[in-house]
Structure 1
Amino acid sequence: MIRTQIQLTDDQAQALKALSAKTGLSIAELVRRGLAPLLRDGLSEHDERARRAAAAVGRFHSGRDDISSYHDRYLTDD
C-alpha cells in the first residue's frame, strides 16, 4: 500500500473518527471503502443525473407564476 495524506474538513474528520469508533474499522479502511465505488464507477452516475436535471429546467410549464412560493401546497394531495 502507498501512504498518502489528504485534507478533510473538521466535520469530515469528526464523522470519520466517529464511524471508525462505531465500526472498529480504521480511518484508512473507511477512506479506501469510500473511494472504491468512485474509482470503479467514476463520476458518470452523478454527472448523468446532473445533466438530466439541467436538461429538465424550463421544459415544463404549470401556468402558475407562484410555484417557488407555494410548491409545498401544490405538491400535497389536498
Structure 2
Amino acid sequence: MQLTEEQLAALKRLAARRGVSVSELVRQAVDAVLRGPQAEQERLRRERARAAAGRFRSGLGDLAEAHDRYLLEDLT
C-alpha cells in the first residue's frame, strides 16, 4: 500500500489531533469501508458526543440527582 505525501501528512495531522496512530486511523477507515457509510456516520456521532461530554455547565448543583425532574419541567 502506498500513500501520497499529501495523504500521509494529512493522516499524521489527524492522528495527532485524535491521539491515535496513523495505523489506527487506517484500520478504522478499512473497518468503516467494510461496514458501510452508516456505520462510519454512527462512529463519528459517538466521537462528537464523547468530545462534548463535560464541556458545558448547567449551573445547577444537583443536576446529576435531579435530572429527571429538570427534564420533566422543561417538557411541560
TM-score range, shorter chain: 0.3 to 0.5
TM-score (norm 2): 0.43
- Which has the higher Rg, Structure 1 or Structure 2? 1
TM-score (norm 1): 0.42
Higher share in helix: 2
